[in-house]
Amino acid sequence: MMAEANPQPLLAVENLEVAVAGHPEARILRGVTFAVNRGETLAIVGESGCGKSMTSLSVMGLLPAGVEKTGGSLRLDGTELPITDNRKMRKIRAARIGMVFQEPMAALNPVFPVGKQVAEVIGEHMSLSRSAARARVLSLLDQVGLPDPERIAKSYPHRLSGGQLQRVVIAMALACDPEVIIADEPTTALDVTVQAQIMRLLKQLQIDTQVAIVLVTHNLGLVAHTADRVAVMYGGRKVEEAPTRELFLNPQHPYTRGLLDATPHPDRQRRGGKLLNEIPGTVPSITDPMPGCRFAPRCAFAQADCQAAPPPEEGPAGHRVACYHPAAWAAQDKTEAPQ
């Protein structure tokens, strides 16, 4: 009996190129590739300015003015997303792809009650009576863990806390039962207790509905507890991708290693090291046409061949890394280890 072919990913991004309009040499995203399956969480991580949010805006067809897609493919369930056609994308946003924006206050209109705003999303994509739409709004607010949905629905955004606003934005993203949720820094500016609540909520919703989640964040602690796979970006490129546990235990790219070392770890200090280690140098401008590996100027293991950009290569357990000298620090760690 023939083995079944791998299932088609729900969301597939291949060789995505985004540049400043009219200046294709000023590339913001450089061949970004990833895929997400139903019921799976992919985290996209990296420093500010690495292209994480631009990638999520590309999927939503919400590229800012002066920026354009110059190459690559974005497919939802096998069908190309018409990201340059706003009229067509309006039928897909919220209905099939929901987005949780980084700043809930910026995503909500301050002059309308939040219930009315959730209802508008429902009315745009679902044929429900007014009473049915209202019932769905209350059900959604209850589903995301907001107490007294009737009161919350009548409240204006400024009357709600940051955690409550984020839950409202999640309710809006879920309003039309999307297949994919893009969560762009969904816990920014929230205290750690509320962060945990929000992420537990998203995870439970995923279990209940099998929605695929793309989590855009710089919080590696959050990634470790919530993501199935991690894609690491630097300078507009994906430099490494692996299952979460594999990436944390066996990082291959020097930049990934640097990110993990830059995370505070008390145990490291007890062993005589620093609490955290900084990555030397500065991040290049995302539109800098620098040839070769964009991390090379900051990399302690860079060699002459790093002047040419290495293509991502498949490794063990689905581990992909764009580096000529992956895990080059392994030998150094052995020589520096206490005898």
What would the two tokens of residue 160 be? 């709600």
Cα separation of 230 and 121, whole Å? 31
DSSP classification of residue 292: S
Cα separation of 294 and 262, whole Å? 19
Q: Are 62 and 54 in contact (CB under 8 A)?
A: no
Instruction: Label residue 172 exposed, middle or buried (CB < 10 Å: 0-12, 13-18, 19+).
Output: buried
Block residue for tokens 């964040």? 217
Length in residues, the chain: 339
Task: Report the pLDDT value the prediction gives residue 272, as an integer from 0 to 100.
Answer: 55
The pLDDT of 92-115, averaged and rounded, is 92
With a CB cutoff of 8 Å and minimum separation 6, the contacts of 288 are: 235, 294
With a CB cutoff of 8 Å and minimum separation 6, the contacts of 212 are: 10, 11, 36, 37, 38, 39, 40, 41, 42, 179, 180, 181
> H or E segment at 12?
strand 11-20
Inform me whether the pLDDT recorded for 270 exceeds 80.
no
With a CB cutoff of 8 Å and minimum separation 6, the contacts of 74 are: 11, 12, 13, 14, 16, 58, 59, 80, 81, 83
Inform me whether the pLDDT recorded for 333 exceeds 60.
no
Instruction: Label residue 162 exposed, middle or buried (CB < 10 Å: 0-12, 13-18, 19+).
Output: middle
Q: How much helix, strand and coil, in percent to the nearest 5, is found in the chain?
A: 40, 20, 40
Give per-residue pLDDT as tens, 133-170: 999 999 999 988 899 999 999 999 999 998 899 999 99
Pick the CATH number of 11-96+178-336 from 3.10.129.10, 3.40.50.300, 3.30.9.10, 3.40.50.150: 3.40.50.300
The pLDDT of 117-127, averaged and rounded, is 93
Inform me whether the pLDDT recorded for 337 exceeds 60.
no
Taking the model in full, what pTM does it have?
0.90
In the sheet that holds 180-184, the strands lie side by side as: 97-100, 180-184, 212-216, 41-45, 229-234, 237-243, 320-321, 313-314
Block residue for tokens 């497919």? 75
Give per-residue pLDDT as tens, 186-225: 887 778 888 888 888 889 989 999 999 999 998 898 899 8
- Least Cα distance to 293 among 337, 339, 247, 235 occurs for 235
Give per-residue pLDDT as tens, 276-322: 778 888 888 877 777 889 999 999 899 999 988 887 777 777 899 99
Provide DSSP, 190-235. Answer: --HHHHHHHHHHHHHHHHHH--EEEEE-S-HHHHHHH-SEEEEEET
Task: Report the pLDDT value the prediction gives residue 39, as an integer from 0 to 100.
Answer: 95
What would the two tokens of residue 24 be? 């294709």
Give per-residue pLDDT as tens, 68-91: 999 999 999 999 999 999 999 999
CA angle 120, 122, 125 (to 5 degrees): 110
With a CB cutoff of 8 Å and minimum separation 6, the contacts of 234 are: 46, 47, 50, 255, 283, 294, 295
* Identity of the amino acid at 231: A
Give per-residue pLDDT as tens, 12-48: 999 999 999 998 888 999 999 999 999 999 999 998 8
Task: Report the pLDDT value the prediction gives residue 335, as an integer from 0 to 100.
Answer: 45
Name which residue leads in pLDDT, 193 or 125.
125
